[in-house]
Each structure stands twice: as C-alpha cells, then as structure tokens.
Amino acid sequence: MTGHIAFITPIYAGFFGIMLVLLSRRVIQLRKHPDSANKVSGSGFNELTATVRAREGMVENVPFALLLMWMLETMQFGPHIIHGLGVLLVVARLLHLHGLSQPGGDGTGRRLGNYLTWLHITICSVLCFAGAFGLII
C-alpha cells in the first residue's frame, strides 16, 4: 500500500457513468422509434432487448464493483492494483456489451464479461477483507 488519495476510481466511475447514460439514451431511442430492425425475432431477441439487458447488467454490478475499488483505494492499495482492477472491469463490461450485440444476444463475450465482472468483485472483496484485517500491508 502507498500514500495516495483516492483519485483513480473516479476515472472509472466517470467512464461507466457516461456508458450508462449512452445505454439509457439508446434504450429510449429504441422504445420511441421502433423500426423493422427491432421487431422481435422467433427467439424473442432484438436490439432493444440487448440494450436493456446491457444496461440492467451494468446497473446491477458496476456500482458495487466501483464501491469496492474505492474502498481499496482509500485503504491505500497501490495505484497499479486499482488501475488493474479498473481495466478488468472495463474489459468485462465491454465484452458483455459486445456479446449481447451478437445474433441471439448470447455471444461468448456476454458470458465472459459476466465471469470477469464477478472475478473483479471477488478479487476486490478478498482484498477488502485482507486490508481491513491488516493482512496486507
């Protein structure tokens, strides 16, 4: 751990804030202006479904993941650890979004993105425990 003030996590929070606004805006656009590309296919999947699922996944997972990162940062974990976790979360959510954009909405990226998001939360949680109990200096 080093002596720095929490300024790294806000970079990732800002990124995800913008991503959430863009996803929310896209959901609204798709709901207001349905066109032939958004008609439900035989599988029940369409662009609106994918966009809503991407936004829901983000709202369910990213706030807690960022909170854990912020806790680690305030516990003075090194910037390289915080950035590594931030990059992991960005990659995870972009993979998830990409996977949802694949035909049928069930691309490999969606599953991998979910797993990597859970991995991020698990790593952060373990580090929070270890830091809180003074097991990591």
Question: What CATH number should be reported for the domain holding residue 107?
Answer: 1.20.120.550
Mean pLDDT of the chain: 88
Residue 66 lies in a domain: yes
How many residues belong to the chain? 137
pLDDT tens per residue across span 76-110: 999 999 999 999 999 999 999 999 888 877 789 99
- Taking a C-beta distance cutoff of 8 angstroms, is the pair 101, 107 a contact? yes
The domain tally of the chain equals 1
Residue ranges making up the domain that contains 94: 9-132
At position 132, the amino acid (one-letter code) is: A
Q: What is the mean pLDDT of residues 37-51?
A: 67
Residue 4 lies in a domain: no
Residue 125 lies in a domain: yes
pLDDT band at 121 (very low <50, low <70, confident <90, very high): very high
State the CB neighbour count (10 A cutoff) for residue 71.
18
Residue 79 lies in a domain: yes
pLDDT tens per residue across span 20-38: 999 999 999 988 875 645 5
Residue 22 lies in a domain: yes
Whole-number pLDDT of residue 130: 96
